[in-house]
Amino acid sequence: MKTSLALHLVLLLAFLPAALNGGDEATWRLGREPRTFTLENGLSVILQQDGAAPITVAQLLVRGGDRDDPPGLGGLSYLVARLSLEISEPSVLRQLMDLGSSFSLSAGGDYSLVTIRSLSRNFAATLSVLAGMISEPLVSDLRVDGIKDLMRHLQKMEVDDPGSFMRKSLAGVFYDAAAYGATRFGDEASLARIGRKDIQSFLRSHYVAGNMTLVVISDLDEAEIRPLLASRLGGIAAGEKPTPRPLSLRRPLRPALEIERQTAQTLVSLTVPLPELNAKNFVLATLLETWLGKGIGSRLWPLRSRGSLTYGVNAEVQPNREAMLLSVSLKADARRSAEAQAELERLVREVSASGIAAAELAAAKAYTRADFWRENENRERRAATLAFLEGSGLSYRLGGSFAQRLDEIGLEEFNDFLRTWLAPARWFILRIGPATVERTEVTSDK
């Protein structure tokens, strides 16, 4: 009897953590399960050990993106993020070059992300240099003017790239303020308005440890990394997360927009808003995105394989915290773009009305599961995924439970999702290309 009780206790203890976690705490299936801890100043850390290569990637997430730019100050969050990475003096540049380390900035709607890449043997020295820059950025007129010039260049590059221009244009249509890419790099008026006080105010409110999360993937173990982070990043000022600025999705004033460009092809996109971003909806949206337009043989592939209307089709979800957008798009010879638009609409209407069959759903899940692993095979991408999940108000743990959550999606549930969110009344059509006298209105049954 005693033996049996002891055995039960051992078994209970062995399974207790999983039982207590419940819900999202499925078996971790994306490399080794990360460890989490918080530095004394409040900076939270997610650490995944990965011994496959002697390199370290750290993604420093700072909450507060262009959705938090105050009215009239579009570009402020990007400017501040860029300022915090300005190399202050030649000796710093010399040190980083010697180490062979590099860093880059990815500024988004909900957060900014600083990526630090280093050989693991040089990680401590790299972190020392960068921590100094990030914790005490030098705000001078000369530096600020230099970054504003860079932002003017980025504004132009954004317009020159059809995909970026599409996202920027859609953000302007769907959000009730300049957010989620509408004026990520500002405009002439906002850049002229942004002054040192605005910059310092944003630094004080957002660049505090409690508003940051660090994701580290390294072959170094926790015993080495933890004291290193405490000593190098412990100097960042403590402080709490600021409250994000209220923001909501708006209904477009018109169902379509045409932007003239003198290009050989016209980009045609069909966009719908998706439900609020939570774990369930994120997995549903990813499945939909992949099934519709990711890779060869997707649901929209017949636009290419039967109609020869385009070289490739694409679907992308912009998983913004306040509201996700799904866009399906193609680029077609400007002279055939009306036909391409009509076929795109026909296919999406068919998907919305007819849904998906069980066998096709199983295939879509198999492809999406493998694609999630492919996307996160490389540690830099994996760290960015975990940071995104945290920065979007989800949890990094969704990275490990994604495959299981995908398996749990039922046929009726997914078909309901398709019917509800792809309904023609929700469509917005954007065309970027040569002016045309052809129809641009949505021909759906509205």
Partner 1 sequence: MALACGLPLSGAADQRPASAYFVLDNGLQVLLQEKHDLPLTGMTLAIDLGTKDESDATSGYAHLLEHMLLFGAGAGTDSEARLAELRGHGVAHNAHTDHDLMTFEVSCPAAESAWALEQMRQAVFSGRLDPQLLEREKRVIGEEILQLRDDPAYLGRLMVMERLFAGHPYGRPVFGDGSAIQAATIEQLQAFCAPRLVVNRCALSLIGDFTLAAMEAEVRRNWGAMPAATAPAADVPVLGRLEKNSEHEIALDVQECHLFFGWRAPEFNHEQRLPFSLLTHILGSGLNPLLGGVLRGGRQQVERVDMSYLPMRSGGMALLHVILKPQDIRGVRNEVAAFLSRVGSFNFSREDVLPRERMYVLDYLESARNQMEYGDANFREGTLNLSLACSRFLLLNRAPVKGSYLDSVDKVSSNDLRRAAGKFLSGKKWVMLAIKPLPGKQQ
Decide if residue 374 touches partner 1 (CB under 8 A): yes
Using rule CB under 8 A, residue 2 touches partner 1: no
CA atoms within 13 A on the CB side of 399: 27
One of 183, 265, 352, 392 touching partner 1 (CB under 8 A): 265
Task: Return the range that interacts with partner 1 (CB under 8 A); candidates 4-12, 145-153, 172-180, 241-249.
Answer: 145-153
Helices vs strands, H then E, count in the chain: 16, 11
Site for partner 1 contains 11 (CB under 8 A): no
424 vs 433 by CB, closer to partner 1: 433
- Asked if 269 contacts 429 with a C-beta cutoff of 8 angstroms, the reply is yes
Q: Strand, coil or helix: what is 209?
A: helix
248 near partner 1, judged by CB under 8 A: no
The one segment of 60-68, 268-276, 363-371, 394-402 that binds partner 1 by CB under 8 A? 363-371
Q: Out of 105, 139, 342, 363, which residue is the one contacting partner 1 (CB under 8 A)? A: 363
Among 62, 127, 364, 383, binds partner 1 (CB under 8 A): 364
Tell me which of 206, 369, 405, 431 binds partner 1, using CB under 8 A: 369
Task: Report phi then psi at 30, rounded to 5.
Answer: -150, 75
List the interface residues with partner 1, window 95-134 (CB under 8 A). 96-102, 117-119, 122
Identified binder of partner 1 from the candidate list 311, 354, 441, 443, rule CB under 8 A: 311
72 near partner 1 (CB under 8 A): no
Query: Which DSSP string do the residues of 398-443 spell out, in sequence order?
Result: HHHHHHHHHHH--HHHHHHHHHHHS-GGG-EEEEEES--SS--S--
Q: Which stretch binds partner 1 (CB under 8 A): 18-26, 146-154, 313-321, 413-421?
A: 146-154
- Contact segment (CB under 8 A) with partner 1 among 9-17, 88-96, 176-184, 345-353 equals 88-96
What pairing do the DSSP bridges indicate for beta strands 428-433 and 256-260?
Answer: parallel
**Per-residue x/- mask for partner 1, residues 28 to 67, rule CB under 8 A?**
--xx------------------x-xxxx------------
- Residue 420 touching partner 1 (CB under 8 A): no
Q: Are 72 and 126 within 8 A, CB to CB?
A: no
Sign of CA dihedral 362, 367, 370, 376: negative
The smaller minimum CB distance to partner 1, of residues 119 and 228, is found at: 119
Q: Which region holds residue 64: left if phi is over 0, alpha if psi is between -120 and 50, else beta?
A: left
Q: Least distance to partner 1 from the beta carbon of 423, Å?
A: 26
Question: Rounded to the nearest whole angstrom, what is the least distance from the CB of residue 444 to partner 1 in the complex?
Answer: 25
CA distances from 149 to 156, 296, 412 (A): 11, 40, 52
Binds partner 1 (CB under 8 A): choice among 305, 354, 420, 443: 305
DSSP, residue by residue, 315-363: EEEEE-SS-EEEEEEEEEEGGGHHHHHHHHHHHHHHHHHH---HHHHHH
Tokens of 378: 């490389």
H/E run at residue 179: none
If one asks whether residue 167 binds partner 1 (CB under 8 A), the answer comes out as no
Contact 184, 66 (CB under 8 A): yes
Longest dimension (CA), the chain: 87
| Cβ nearer to partner 1, comparing 239 with 312 | 312
Positions that interact with partner 1 (CB under 8 A): 30-31, 50, 52-55, 93-94, 96-102, 117-119, 122, 149-150, 153, 155-157, 159-160, 162, 261-265, 295-298, 301-302, 304-306, 308-311, 331-333, 359-360, 362-364, 366-367, 369-371, 373-374, 376-380
